[in-house]
Structure 1
Amino acid sequence: MADQPLIILFVKVPARSQVKTRLAAALGEEAALELYQRFVQDILDTLVQTGIPVMICYYPPDNRNAVAGWLGPEQKYLPQEGRDVGERMENAFRQAFNRGFSRVVLIGSDIPDLPAPLIKEALAALPMHDAVIGPARDGGYYLVGFRNDTFFPGVFSGIAWSTGTVFRSTMQAFGKAGQRVHELPLWQDVDTIEDLKDLAARSRRSAFSSSRTMSFLAGFKDAHLSLEGSDAPI
C-alpha cells in the first residue's frame, strides 16, 4: 500500500464563551473569539503550505455546517467523538487509519505560529519511530503522531487532561509500552494573556509577523496588551 500521510487539526466551532476562555477574561469575549478564529486560519494556512492532506476534526460534533461555513467547503471534515479529549483523539486516529492513511499527526489550535518544518519533521520521523510528540511549555503537548502499525491508544487513557502533567504522563505511558518516540522541540501554546504577549514578542521579526493573528493584535488597542520592557506594544 502506498504511503499516505495525514495531518489532523483539532478545532472547536467558534462561539462566545466556548473558546479561549482564559484570554476572554483579560481581553473580552469578542476579542478572544476573533483571536481564536485567526489562530485557526493561520494554522490552516501553514498546513496547506506543506502539501500534505489535512483533516479538520471539529467539536461539537453536530456543527459541521458551521465549521464548513467558517473554513470552507473545500476542506475535509470529521466530527470529534468521545467523552473527553483523549477519547476524541483516539477516535480521530482510528478513523484516519481506517481510511488508509499510514502516517498521521494530530495538532491542536492553540499554536498559531507553529512552523511547517516542525510538522514535516514529525511526519519524517515516523518511519524510524513508533510515535512522535511535541512538548508544550505548559506541560501538555502540541502534536502527537503514529504510524498505522504502531498506533498506541494507551496514551489517551488515564491522563489528567488540561493539567501540567499531560506530557510527563504520556511519556511514562510510552516508556512502559516500550515505544520509540521522537521528541520535537518545545513550543508554546497560547492560552493566557502572558502567552499572547510572548507570541507577539517572538513574532515581531519572524515570518509570522504578517499573519492574521499579528494583524489583529497590531490593531487591538488595550492596556492589557502592553509588553512590559518593550517599546513595541501589540
Structure 2
Amino acid sequence: MKKLLIIMTRLPLKGETKSRLSDFLTVDQTQALSQYLLEMNYQRAKASQADLCFWLTADQAGYDLGDFLNLDQEAVFWQEGDSLGERMSRAIRDGFNRGYDQVALMGSDLYDLSTSQVDQAFTYLDSCDLVLAPSLDGGYGLIGMSAYYPDLFALESYGHTSVLAATLSHADQAGISYELLPAIRDIDDKEDIAAILTGDPEATFLAQGEYNANFIFDQGRKLLRIALGSQLHLDQQIQYEYGALKALEASGVTPKPLALCDYHPLIGAGYLVEAFLPGRQLDYETDSQIAAELLAQIHQQDPKQADHLIYVGQPFVVMYEEFETMFAHYRSWEGRSEEVTQRIQRLLDGLKVYDHSAQLVNPCIINTELNASNFLINPGDQSYVIDWEKPLIGEREQDLGHFLAPTTTLWKTDYLYDDQSLESFIQAYDAHSPIAIDQAKLDQYLVFTCLRGLTWCAMAYVQYNKADKLARNQETYQVISRFLSTDFIQMIEDYIAKRLPG
C-alpha cells in the first residue's frame, strides 16, 4: 500500500513567518524558530514509513527549499487555491491522483508530533477513512485519508477554535469513519512557547517589558522569565540575572531562583524560573519605611557571592559619560529647544564641582533601577524587591539615589520626597543597616540621577520624534515632554542647587 505524507509550509524567510510573535520575538528569532521547527518536523517525517513531499506557499515562488533544508530528493510543489482549505484539498487530491492509497498532510509548526504518531496515523487508515491529530487550539495539525473527501475542507473559515469540531461534524454527516491521535501543540503565539518551556498547558502571560517577558504557571506558584534583550548589552543576560538572584537569595526579600535554562531553540535565548511572589506596587507615601528596610537587607548581602556582576570602580565617571552620550543626541538635533539645551548643559557643567574619579566604597549588590514597580508590598507580611535585570556591584547610595530622586518618583506618580520624608527614609534605612548612609555621597547621587533622568529624556524625545514610537506609547512621550518643560527643569535646578557642595 502506497503512503504519502505532505508537509505544508511557508519557507522561513525573515519577516515572513510567525507574525503573531512579532511583539515577543525579533524577526531574527522568529526566523530561527521557523527554521528549527521546519527542520525538526522534516526529520521526524522523513523517518516515517511514508513517502514525503512538500507543498510551499505560492507567494514564495522563486525561493528554493533546498536553501533551508538538506533535502533527500523529496518532491516540492507550490500550493494552489485561495483559502487554506482549498490549498490542503488540492494537495491531498494530487497525492491520490499520483497513485497513493493513503495520503496525510501536516504543518511544519508542530512541536510534538512524533514519527511514531505519524506511523500510527497510517495504521489507523488501514481500517478507517479519516485520521486527525487535534491541536490544542481547536484545530488539527495532521489530517490523513484513505480516499479523497473534498467536503471535509469546505469550512467557512480556518481561523477559529472549532475547526476540528466542524471537520468531524462534516465527517459524521457524510458517514466517514475516523480516528483521533493524541492532541498536539502547534506554535502560534507566546503562550504556546510558554506552555512548552514550562510543561504547563495552563501557563499564562503576566507582563512584558522591552527586555523581558513573564508568565505564571504551576497554579500560580512559579514565574517563567524570558530575556528578550539586555540593557547591559550582555550575550548571557538571563544567566547574569539568575546569578544575581542566587547571590541575593539569603536576603529572603528577592525572588527565589528555581531553575535556569541557558538556551532553548524555540526562543533563541535562555530563561529562568523563579518563585512567584504576591504583593502590590509600592506607594511612596505609605510604604517608604518598608522600602528602606528591604533595601538595607539587600545591601547587606555579600557581593563576593556575585563576582560575575559588573564592578564599576569609578561610578561617577561612568555616569557622566553616559549623560554626555545621551545628551549628544538632543544637542545635535535640529529640532532641539535652545533654552532646554542651554539649561541642561549648565546643569551638566555644574557637575564639575565633584571629583568624578572617586573610587567605589563599601561595595554591595545594587539593583540600579529602583522605582515603585520594583516592590511587592504586603503590609504586615513579607514584602519583596523584584526585577533584577541590571544589577551591579556598586554603592548603596547609588541605589538609594535612584529610588529617592524626583526624576524617579515623579515619572508615574506625583510624589516628591521633601527634606522631612527623605530624612525619615534615611533613619529607617540606617536602623536596619550595619553601614550608615553617607549623606554627602547620597546627595551627589541624587544630583547625578536627576541629570541621568533629564539627559535620557532628551535622547528619548529625539528618538520618539524621529521614529514611530510616538504612536505606540503616547503616555511615555507625554511624561518625557513634561520632564523637558521649563517648569520641570526649573524644579530640578532648585532641587540640585540645595545639594551641591559648598
Question: Do these two structures clear the TM 0.5 threshold for a shared fold by scoring above it?
Answer: yes
One-letter code aligned to 2:108: S
Correspondence list, 1:88-107, <5 A: 88-107=87-106
Q: Secondary structure at the match of 2:68?
A: helix
Which structure has the larger Rg?
2
Q: Distance in 2 between matches of 1:75 and 1:92?
A: 15
Aligned: 1:42 with 2:91: no
Task: Provide the alpha-carbon RMSD of the alignment.
Answer: 2.2
Aligned: 1:26 with 2:75: no
Q: Secondary structure at the match of 2:23?
A: helix
Q: Is the 8 A contact 1:139 1:167 kept in 2?
A: yes
Q: Secondary structure at the match of 1:27?
A: coil
Q: Is the 8 A contact 2:9 2:54 kept in 1?
A: yes
Q: Secondary structure at the match of 2:88?
A: helix
Q: Secondary structure at the match of 2:112?
A: coil
Q: Distance in 1 between matches of 2:124 and 2:165?
A: 21
2:132 is aligned to 133
Correspondence list, 1:1-234, <5 A: 3-60=1-58, 63=61, 65-72=63-70, 74-147=73-146, 150-202=147-199, 215-217=264-266, 220-221=269-270, 226=272
The more displaced of 90-99 and 67-76 is 67-76
Q: Distance in 1 between matches of 2:153 and 2:125?
A: 19
Q: Is the 8 A contact 2:29 2:267 kept in 1?
A: no
How much does 1:46 deviate? 0.7
One-letter code aligned to 2:23: A
Q: Secondary structure at the match of 1:134?
A: strand
**Paired residue total:** 213
The more displaced of 186-195 and 88-97 is 186-195
How much does 1:228 deviate? 6.4
Q: Distance in 2 between matches of 1:80 and 1:229?
A: 47
Q: Secondary structure at the match of 1:10?
A: strand
Q: Secondary structure at the match of 1:26?
A: coil
Q: Secondary structure at the match of 1:182?
A: strand
Instruction: With a CA cutoff of 8 Å and minimum separation of 6, indicate the structure with the bigger relative contact order.
Output: 1
Q: Distance in 2 between matches of 1:166 and 1:141?
A: 7
How much does 1:113 deviate? 2.6
- Cα–Cα, structure 1 residues 9 and 217, in superposed 2: closer, same or farther, change >3 Å? closer
Q: Is the 8 A contact 1:159 1:170 kept in 2?
A: no
Q: Distance in 2 between matches of 1:18 and 1:219?
A: 18
How much does 1:202 deviate? 3.9
Runs of 4+ aligned residues of structure 1 deviating over 4 Å after TM superposition are 225-230
Q: Distance in 1 between matches of 2:126 and 2:39?
A: 29
How much does 1:51 deviate? 4.0
How much does 1:216 deviate? 2.4
One-letter code aligned to 1:220: A
How much does 1:30 deviate? 1.3
Q: Distance in 1 between matches of 2:97 and 2:3?
A: 13
- Cα–Cα, structure 1 residues 191 and 113, in superposed 2: closer, same or farther, change >3 Å? same
Q: Is the 8 A contact 1:61 1:81 kept in 2?
A: no
- Cα–Cα, structure 1 residues 177 and 56, in superposed 2: closer, same or farther, change >3 Å? same
Q: Is the 8 A contact 1:19 1:36 kept in 2?
A: yes
Q: Distance in 2 between matches of 1:156 and 1:228?
A: 45
One-letter code aligned to 2:113: L
One-letter code aligned to 1:33: Q
Length-normalised TM-score, structure 2? 0.40
% identity of equivalent residues: 26
- Cα–Cα, structure 1 residues 227 and 123, in superposed 2: closer, same or farther, change >3 Å? farther
* Structure 1: 5+ residue stretches without partners: 204-213
Q: Secondary structure at the match of 1:127?
A: coil
Q: Distance in 2 between matches of 1:41 and 1:95?
A: 24
How much does 1:93 deviate? 0.7
